[in-house]
Amino acid sequence: MPTTGPDDEARTLPAGTTPDALRTPCLLLDEARVRANVDRMRGHLTRLGVAFRPHLKTAKSLDVARIAMTTPAGPAMVSTLREAEYFAGGGVRDMIYGVGIAPTKLARVSAIRAAGVDLAIILDSLEQADAVAAHARGGGDALPVLIEVDADGHRSGVAPTDTATLLAIGRRLTAGGATVRGVLLHAGDSYALTDPAALAAAAEAERAAAVTAADALRAAGLPCPVVSVGSTPTARYARDLAGITEVRAGVFMFGDLYQAGVGSVAVEDIALSVLATVIGHQRARGRIITDAGWMAMSRDRGTAKQAVDQGYGVVCDLSGRPYRDLIVADANQEHGIVALRPGSGAALPELPVGSRVRILPNHACATGAQHDCYHVLDGGGRVGAVWPRIRGW
Ligand SMILES: Cc1ncc(COP(=O)(O)O)c(C=O)c1O
CATH number assigned to the domain comprising residue 320: 2.40.37.20
- What are the pLDDT digits (tens) for 178-202? 999 999 999 999 999 999 999 999 9
Residues 18 and 88 both lie in one domain = no
**Is 261 a member of any domain?**
no
- What are the pLDDT digits (tens) for 279-311? 999 999 999 999 999 999 999 999 999 999 999
- Rounded Cα distance, 375 and 71, in Å: 24
Residues 158 and 102 both lie in one domain = yes
Residues 210 and 343 both lie in one domain = no
pLDDT-derived band of residue 9, with 50, 70 and 90 as boundaries? low
Given a cut of 80, whether residue 148 has pLDDT beyond it is: yes
Nearest to 181 by CA among 134, 138, 148: 148
Given a cut of 90, whether residue 15 has pLDDT beyond it is: no
- Rounded Cα distance, 377 and 380, in Å: 8
Identify the pLDDT of residue 12. 64
Give the atom of ligand 1 at the shortest distance from the alpha carbon of 79.
16
Residues 179 and 314 both lie in one domain = no
**Is 368 a member of any domain?**
yes
Which of 60, 248, 257, 363 maximizes ligand 1 atoms within 8 Å of its Cβ, making it the mutation to test the pocket?
248
Given a cut of 60, whether residue 249 has pLDDT beyond it is: yes
Structural domain total, the chain: 2
State which residues form the domain around 78.
48-253
Task: List all residues 6 or more positions away from 233 whose beta carbon is below 8 Å from its beta carbon.
Answer: 187, 190, 191, 193, 199, 202, 203, 259, 262, 263, 264
Closest residue (by CA) to atom 2 of ligand 1?
186
Mean pLDDT of all residues in 350-371: 98
Given a cut of 50, whether residue 5 has pLDDT beyond it is: no
- Burial class (CB within 10 angstroms; exposed 0-12, middle 13-18, buried 19+) of 9: middle
CATH number assigned to the domain comprising residue 95: 3.20.20.10
Angle at 108 between CA 247 and CA 74, to 5 degrees: 30
Give the atom of ligand 1 at the shortest distance from the alpha carbon of 230.
4
Identify the pLDDT of residue 16. 80
Identify the pLDDT of residue 10. 53
pLDDT-derived band of residue 205, with 50, 70 and 90 as boundaries? very high
Residues 291 and 180 both lie in one domain = no
Mean pLDDT of all residues in 384-389: 96
Residues 247 and 275 both lie in one domain = no
Identify the pLDDT of residue 14. 75
**Is 35 a member of any domain?**
no
Given a cut of 70, whether residue 274 has pLDDT beyond it is: yes
Identify the domain boundary among 209, 226, 253. Answer: 253
**Is 79 a member of any domain?**
yes
pTM, full prediction: 0.96
